[in-house]
Amino acid sequence: MDLPVDEWKSYLLEKWSLLPTSIQLTISTAETLSDIFLQSSLLLQPQDEMFLKRLSRGYFVGKDPEAPLFYREEGNKKFQEKDYTGAAVLYSKTCLIDIMRAQTHGYPERLQPKIMLRKAECLVTLGRLQEASQTINDLESNFTAKPALADSPFHILQRNLHHLKIKIQEKKNLTEIFPAALAKAFEDMDLREENEKISSASSSVSLCTDPLKGRYLIATKDILPGELLVKEAAFVSVLTPGEMQPLHQALDSKWSTKVTNGDLYCHQCLKHTLATVPCDGCTYAKYCSQECMQQAWELYHSIECSLGGLLLTLGVFCHIALRLTLLARFENVGEIIRKLCDETSLKDISLPENKNMVKTLNYGQGESEENGKIVQTPIPGCDVNGKYENNYYAVFNLLPHTENHSPEHKFLCALSVSALCRQLEAASLQALTTGLKCSELKAVATPDFCPDLDIWGVAMLRHMLQLQCNAQAITTIQQTGSKENIITDSRQVRLATGIFPVVSLLNHSCSPNTSVSFISTVATIRASQQIRKGQEILHCYGPHESRMGVAERQQKLRAQYFFDCNCPACQTEAHRMTAGPRWEAFCCNSCRAPMQGDDVLSCGNRSCTESISRDHLVSRLQDLQQQVKMARELLRNGKLEQAVRRLLGCRHKAESFLSAEHTVAGEIEDGLAQAYAALGDWQKSATHLQKSLQVVEVRHGPCSVEMGHELFKLAQIFFSGFAIPEALNTIQKAEKVLLVHYGPWHDDIQELRKMKSCLLDLPPIPVGPSM
Ligand SMILES: [Zn+2]
Ligand SMILES: [Zn+2]
Ligand SMILES: [Zn+2]
Ligand SMILES: [Zn+2]
pLDDT tens readout for residues 204-257: 999 998 888 889 999 999 998 889 999 999 999 999 876 554 444 433 344 455
**Distance between CA atoms of residues 676 and 485, nearest Å:** 11
Distance 500 CA to ligand 1 centre (A): 19
**681 has a pLDDT exceeding 50:** yes
**Distance between CA atoms of residues 482 and 460, nearest Å:** 43
**724 has a pLDDT exceeding 50:** yes
**How far separated are the first and last CA of the chain, in Å rounded?**
49
pLDDT of residue 124: 72
Distance 295 CA to ligand 1 centre (A): 9
Q: Please report which ligand is nearest the Cα atom of 287.
A: 1
Give one DSSP letter per residue of 53-100, joined into a string. Answer: HHHHHHS--S--TTHHHHHHHHHHHHHHTT-HHHHHHHHHHHHHHHHH
pLDDT of residue 488: 60
Mean pLDDT of the chain: 79
**Distance between CA atoms of residues 82 and 100, nearest Å:** 28
Which position has the higher pLDDT, 482 or 505? 505
pLDDT band at 150 (very low <50, low <70, confident <90, very high): low
Distances (CA, A) of 625 to 150, 592, 665, 669: 69, 20, 10, 13
Distance 392 CA to ligand 3 centre (A): 30
pLDDT of residue 176: 54
Mean pLDDT of 524-538: 94
Of the candidates 313, 332, 344, the one whose C-alpha atom is nearest the C-alpha of residue 395 is 332
Distance 261 CA to ligand 2 centre (A): 17
Distance 88 CA to ligand 3 centre (A): 45
pLDDT band at 571 (very low <50, low <70, confident <90, very high): confident
pLDDT of residue 509: 94
Residue ranges of alpha helices (H) inside 315-381 are 316-328, 333-341, 343-349, 353-365
High-pLDDT (> 90) share of the chain, %: 36
**768 has a pLDDT exceeding 50:** no
Of the candidates 576, 556, 514, the one whose C-alpha atom is nearest the C-alpha of residue 539 is 514
Distance 586 CA to ligand 4 centre (A): 11
Q: Please report which ligand is nearest the Cα atom of 276.
A: 1
- CB 412 within 8 Å of CB 37: no
Other beta carbons within 10 angstroms of residue 112's beta carbon come to 16
Q: CA torsion sign, 324 to 325 to 327 to 328?
A: positive
Mean pLDDT of 88-110: 64
Run of H or E including 238:
strand 236-239
Run of H or E including 394:
helix 392-396
Which residues make Cβ contacts (< 8 Å) with residue 637, sequence separation at least 6?
A: none
Mean pLDDT of 100-127: 69
Distance 604 CA to ligand 4 centre (A): 7
Distance 595 CA to ligand 4 centre (A): 8
Is 627-761 in CATH node 1.25.40.10?
yes
pLDDT band at 492 (very low <50, low <70, confident <90, very high): confident
Which residues make Cβ contacts (< 8 Å) with residue 587, sequence separation at least 6?
A: 593, 594, 595, 657, 658, 659, 660
Q: Please report which ligand is nearest the Cα atom of 612.
A: 4
Which position has the higher pLDDT, 566 or 187? 566
- CB 752 within 8 Å of CB 712: yes
Which position has the higher pLDDT, 55 or 441? 55
Distance 512 CA to ligand 3 centre (A): 9
pLDDT of residue 708: 93
Q: Please report which ligand is nearest the Cα atom of 292.
A: 1
Distance 619 CA to ligand 1 centre (A): 48
Which residues make Cβ contacts (< 8 Å) with residue 604, sequence separation at least 6?
A: 588, 593, 594, 595, 596
Q: Please report which ligand is nearest the Cα atom of 283.
A: 2
Residue ranges of alpha helices (H) inside 81-223 are 84-104, 112-125, 129-145, 152-188
Q: How many CA atoms lie within 13 A of 55 on its CB side?
A: 22
Crossing angle of helices 316-328 and 333-341, in 10° steps, is 120
Q: Helix (H, G, I), strand (E, B), or coil: what is residue 270?
A: coil
Distance 478 CA to ligand 2 centre (A): 27
Distance 665 CA to ligand 4 centre (A): 19
The residue extents of the domains of the chain are 66-146+153-188, 546-577, 627-761
pLDDT of residue 188: 56
pLDDT band at 498 (very low <50, low <70, confident <90, very high): very high
pLDDT of residue 326: 86
pLDDT of residue 52: 93
**263 has a pLDDT exceeding 70:** yes
**93 has a pLDDT exceeding 90:** no
Distances (CA, A) of 349 to 339, 345, 399, 451: 9, 6, 10, 19
Distance 289 CA to ligand 1 centre (A): 6
Distance 266 CA to ligand 3 centre (A): 35
What single letter denotes the amino acid at residue 447?
P
pLDDT of residue 538: 96
Distance 587 CA to ligand 4 centre (A): 8
High-pLDDT (> 70) share of the chain, %: 73
**27 has a pLDDT exceeding 80:** yes
Mean pLDDT of 509-535: 92
pLDDT of residue 449: 37
**Distance between CA atoms of residues 457 and 321, nearest Å:** 9
pLDDT of residue 491: 73
Distance 233 CA to ligand 1 centre (A): 14
**Distance between CA atoms of residues 543 and 567, nearest Å:** 12
Q: Please report which ligand is nearest the Cα atom of 311.
A: 2
Range of lowest pLDDT (158-167, 365-374, 573-582)? 365-374
Which position has the higher pLDDT, 458 or 513? 513
pLDDT of residue 738: 93
Q: What is the pLDDT of residues 277-328, one digit of tens each?
A: 888 888 788 898 888 999 999 899 988 888 888 999 999 999 999 999 888 8
pLDDT of residue 479: 65
pLDDT band at 10 (very low <50, low <70, confident <90, very high): very high
Which residues make Cβ contacts (< 8 Å) with residue 523, sequence separation at least 6?
A: 230, 231, 232, 233, 234, 472, 474, 498, 500, 503, 516, 517
pLDDT of residue 707: 93
Distance 404 CA to ligand 3 centre (A): 20
Q: Please report which ligand is nearest the Cα atom of 602.
A: 4
Which position has the higher pLDDT, 481 or 113? 113
Could you tell me the pTM of the whole model?
Answer: 0.74
pLDDT band at 339 (very low <50, low <70, confident <90, very high): low
Other beta carbons within 10 angstroms of residue 267's beta carbon come to 24
Distance 298 CA to ligand 2 centre (A): 12
Q: Please report which ligand is nearest the Cα atom of 610.
A: 4
Distance 59 CA to ligand 2 centre (A): 14
Q: Helix (H, G, I), strand (E, B), or coil: what is residue 502?
A: coil
Q: Please report which ligand is nearest the Cα atom of 282.
A: 2
Other beta carbons within 10 angstroms of residue 392's beta carbon come to 25
Mean pLDDT of 57-63: 67
pLDDT of residue 139: 78
Distance 644 CA to ligand 4 centre (A): 29
pLDDT of residue 259: 65
- CB 48 within 8 Å of CB 419: yes
Q: Please report which ligand is nearest the Cα atom of 280.
A: 2
Distance 71 CA to ligand 2 centre (A): 19
Mean pLDDT of 492-516: 93
Mean pLDDT of 10-31: 92
What single letter denotes the amino acid at residue 452?
D
Q: Helix (H, G, I), strand (E, B), or coil: what is residue 371?
A: coil
* Ion ligand 4 residue ranges (Cβ < 5 Å): 588, 590-591, 593, 603, 605, 608, 610
Mean pLDDT of 402-430: 88
Find the radius of gyration of the CA atoms of the chain: 30
Other beta carbons within 10 angstroms of residue 499's beta carbon come to 26
Distance 495 CA to ligand 1 centre (A): 14
pLDDT band at 61 (very low <50, low <70, confident <90, very high): low
If phi over 0 gives left and psi between -120 and 50 gives alpha, with beta otherwise, what is residue 370? beta
